[in-house]
Structure 1
Amino acid sequence: MEKTRDGFKSGTGFVIACIGSAVGMGNIWRFPYMVSDWGGMTFLIPYVLFVILIGSTGLIEEMALGRAAKGGPIKAFGKCTEVHTGKKKSGEIVGLLPVIGSLALAIGYTVVVGWIFKYAFLAISGQLSGMGKNMDVIGGMFGTTASAFGNNTWLVIAVIVTAVIMAFGIAGGIERANKFMMPLLFALFLGLGIYIFTLPGASEGYKYIFTINPKGLLNPRLWIYAFGQAFFSLSIAGNGTVIYGSYLSETEDVVSSARNVAIFDTIAALLAAFVIIPGMAVGGAELSSGGPGLMFIYLVNVFNGMPGGKIVGIIFYICVLFAGMSSLVNLYEAPVATLEERFGFKRPVAVGGIAIVGCIVALLIQGIVSGWMDAVSIYICPLGAMLAAIMFFWVAGKDFAVNAVNQGRDKNIGPWFVPLGKYVLVPLAFIALVAGAVLGGIG
């Protein structure tokens, strides 16, 4: 007899957890940079179009696939090949790739979340504001932090906090933590945005955000990067959304859930842009970095030069910490669930085992984490998303896909869903893989 699986207590809890998984570093340190770099609305127009496309195909597909299989990628992919050929094995082997990808990305993310823990502490203790606008000191702090074995203590703390949340299970740990972190993140970011609005010079940032360059819309690279940003922001990788979907009740509407996740993920990205771009304008700085340098060097300088900058810095890094933690929990869930499903581990043992492995490897890769994250995000994530879409739309087939999505819905999904998934989503996921390899990353 199969034991009863843990799960989300409510559809709202599921949506909030998925929002937490989607709202991460891409929303905060890359999205504002892309908006700035490509000219405000010039970037936002294709970005929103791609969010709608991915939210109405890939996001729905991965949620429905996980729920139909009642398991993570290995079980889900096996379910698809079983529907098609009567055999699970080949699908289960393929499903191992997204699990490995999720663990690899989680390990790299652990290093970054360790940085965030440190900077949140430095902000609260006043050490960040004490650096003033001395870029040598500010840059030196981050250089030391991001070096080999440069942030051991805070990295271990990040792993411990993540493991404690996960050890309490889906409803008692992940759902409860996200219900606390996500509303507070949105409220704090909104408060920051309102405060920035009152500062002199912020208007220049808003003007830039609402600028549109019609000629820029003709640049193919703009569309590629907008797609990449939307693709990775919505956490389509064949792992995290699949495993969260497996904990969802059959009475919940995945189409409605996917829509809400896409909407709130976009709102979070826009809030970050409306805080960071006008904030940089207030500080008289240009948004010249889209990576860690933006968050840990340039913004520190900006905060230290604006009225109330110490409080702004505290609130900002707490928001970033919540975003990082909620994503990290999601990334570790797929490998944890795999140990539970495939080997019968009790949850605390599975969490502890994955946490130890993740912590050891994260400590070792601190000096090369940028290359590590690039390799995973460029190759493994889009490949996992493409494989999940192929399994759902092509291998399991139309009847399986439609039935999985319509479960819990009052109105059946339109006839557009399967063709859009088969002939648009899958090729776009392949394009994300190829374009990422050629351009050195697109998301």
Structure 2
Amino acid sequence: MEREKFSSRLGFILISAGCAIGLGNVWRFPYIVGKYGGAAFVLIYLLFLVVLGLPIVVMEFSVGRASRKSAALSFDVLEPKGSKWHLGKGIAIAGNYILMMFYTTVGGWMILYFFKTIKGDFTGMSAEAVAGEFSGMLGNPGLMMVFMVITVLICFGVCALGLQKGVERITKAMMLCLLCLMVVLAVHSVLLEGGSEGLKFYLMPDFGKMVETGIGEAVFAALGQSFFTLSIGIGALAIFGSYIGKEQRLTGEAVNVTILDTLVAFMAGLIIFPACSAYNIEPQAGPSLIFITLPNVFNHMVGGRLWGTLFFLFMSFAAFSTVIAVFQNIISFATDLTGCTIKKAVLVNIVLIIILSIPCVLGFNLWSGFMPLGPESTVLDLEDFVLSNNLLPIGSMVYLVFCTSRYGWGFKNFLAEANEGKGLKFPAWARIYVSYILPLIVLLIFIQGYWSKFAG
């Protein structure tokens, strides 16, 4: 059966970016930018994005396009005979499933809050009452289960329509809406009275603040964020490489995806910091920023209900774009490995993902006594740790070594694939860097992940 292809280059770029653009761009990026000195931190982050994230994205795209398969079979197709690279598929498959074990739940929160804001549930509430709403939701497994299932059904429904008619058409529309919504929200936020302080804090480099928090710590935070933001290492991007033609060189495409991902993260800061400073609210990290801080901000705003509704619509799109991209990968694993139809892969995986997502839902209520990573930690924290601190760096290392080692696919083959077509070339002189230095940086990130988690 002929593999379906994207109908347009824009579709490929928007969908790959949609996979990379997730909730971390919104609830983690602005916060760590604020914590580590505003724009000074952004400069370091952008540098790492280019030297660390970009080459691995190019490698994933290359492996996908050369093999025309998902990560389930791409190594089998390209590896030297008798080698064991195909075992790397285990990391990719596990990574995609584990990501969906908690992401579907958080996607459900977004839809729920979209409906709550439309209905005006938060209007006139005190800050304590808004926080109480979030705790109430976490304590209600039935409600969370319903919205998790809705997320799974909507996103698999899109994938069931096929690559061009479903994934490409709907994600394209969603991503364009997401970008428009962000511009509207950011312009509105920047023009708020009293928002200029937040803007200054976000956009004026303050190296003094960076020295205060510790330059080493800031550098590691930038390193980590640049690595995790692109979802590299689990074949989530390789799959989209397998759907594109040979007209364009892959470095240029990787640059486009990286720029879009960064743009969304940056715009999230433009929405959040001026709004928080206008209403004297401290921006927090993580879910509390989205579900407690921002509803409070919208409460104070003129037309806050409208702005809040638009914000949660945008957040739902950000979540869905990632879920649809990963579901597409999961369906491809099934069809590549078993030769089953797309419909069958969708039906089996709907059941599987819903069952696998239940522990995350229960981790906040019925199983809240289970604290796998110490006090206050939940099942979600454990799943995120397994993925972010283990599978992403290990998987990235597999792609790196596979594309540079003569015992793998080899640098020559990788370079030929990456540079086929027109556009930006992957430089041949980068060979020493990607073969010897970049793997060490990835190893460092892996060790740092454990160090910060268990030595602190």
How high is the TM-score relative to the length of structure 2? 0.91
1:280 to 1:25, Cα distance in 2 relative to 1, 3 A:
same
Q: 2:170 aligns with which of 166, 173, 177?
A: 177
Alignment of 1:92-241 (within 5 A): 92-128=86-122, 130=123, 132-147=124-139, 149=141, 150-215=143-208, 216=210, 219-241=215-237
Q: 1:294 aligns with which of 289, 296, 300?
A: 289
Amino acid of the residue matched to residue 388 of structure 1?
Y
Contact 2:404 2:411 in 1 (8 A): yes
For residues 98-151 of structure 1, give each alpha carbon's deviation from its aligned partner in whole angstroms, at most 9, with x where no partner exists: 1111111112101110111101111122223x2x34233222221232346251
Q: Secondary structure of the residue that 2:73 maps to in structure 1?
A: helix
Deviates more, 1:407-416 or 1:324-333: 407-416
User: How far apart in 2 are the matches of 1:411 and 1:365?
Assistant: 42
Q: Percent identity?
A: 28
Amino acid of the residue matched to residue 102 of structure 1?
N
Please say if 1:48 is aligned against 2:46: yes
Please say if 1:250 is aligned against 2:246: yes
User: How far apart in 2 are the matches of 1:343 and 1:37?
Assistant: 48
Contact 1:11 1:257 in 2 (8 A): no
Deviates more, 1:92-101 or 1:267-276: 92-101
User: How far apart in 1 are the matches of 2:14 and 2:39?
Assistant: 28
Please say if 1:266 is aligned against 2:279: no
Structure 1: give runs of 5+ residues left out of the alignment.
none
Q: Secondary structure of the residue that 1:409 maps to in structure 2?
A: coil
Which residue in the other structure is 2:386 paired with?
Answer: 375
Deviation at 1:232, TM superposition (A): 1.1
Q: Secondary structure of the residue that 2:232 maps to in structure 1?
A: coil
Which residue in the other structure is 2:354 paired with?
Answer: 359
Which residue in the other structure is 2:65 paired with?
Answer: 67
Deviation at 1:258, TM superposition (A): 0.7
| Cα root mean square deviation, aligned | 1.8
User: How far apart in 1 are the matches of 2:116 and 2:257?
Assistant: 32
For residues 379-429 of structure 1, give each alpha carbon's deviation from its aligned partner in whole angstroms, at most 9, with x where no partner exists: 112211121221122221121111110122367532233333222332222
Contact 1:66 1:73 in 2 (8 A): yes
Contact 2:13 2:256 in 1 (8 A): yes
Q: What is the aligned residue count?
A: 432
User: How far apart in 2 are the matches of 1:23 and 1:56?
Assistant: 15
Which residue in the other structure is 2:19 paired with?
Answer: 21
Which residue in the other structure is 1:406 paired with?
Answer: 419
User: How far apart in 1 are the matches of 2:394 and 2:232?
Assistant: 10
Contact 1:55 1:258 in 2 (8 A): no
Q: Secondary structure of the residue that 1:286 maps to in structure 2?
A: coil
Deviates more, 1:49-58 or 1:18-27: 49-58
1:399 to 1:148, Cα distance in 2 relative to 1, 3 A:
farther
User: How far apart in 2 are the matches of 1:247 and 1:279?
Assistant: 41
Which residue in the other structure is 2:370 paired with?
Answer: none
Amino acid of the residue matched to residue 384 of structure 2?
M
Which residue in the other structure is 1:439 paired with?
Answer: 452
User: How far apart in 1 are the matches of 2:430 and 2:328?
Assistant: 28
Amino acid of the residue matched to residue 121 of structure 1?
F
Please say if 1:318 is aligned against 2:313: yes
Deviation at 1:353, TM superposition (A): 1.2
User: How far apart in 2 are the matches of 1:174 and 1:160?
Assistant: 14
User: How far apart in 2 are the matches of 1:277 and 1:21?
Assistant: 25
Which residue in the other structure is 1:275 paired with?
Answer: 271
Deviation at 1:438, TM superposition (A): 1.4
For residues 225-271 of structure 1, give each alpha carbon's deviation from its aligned partner in whole angstroms, at most 9, with x where no partner exists: 11111111122123110111111112232121111111111111110
1:55 to 1:409, Cα distance in 2 relative to 1, 3 A:
farther
How high is the TM-score relative to the length of structure 1? 0.93
Contact 1:77 1:388 in 2 (8 A): no
1:400 to 1:186, Cα distance in 2 relative to 1, 3 A:
same
Which residue in the other structure is 2:409 paired with?
Answer: 396
1:260 to 1:269, Cα distance in 2 relative to 1, 3 A:
same
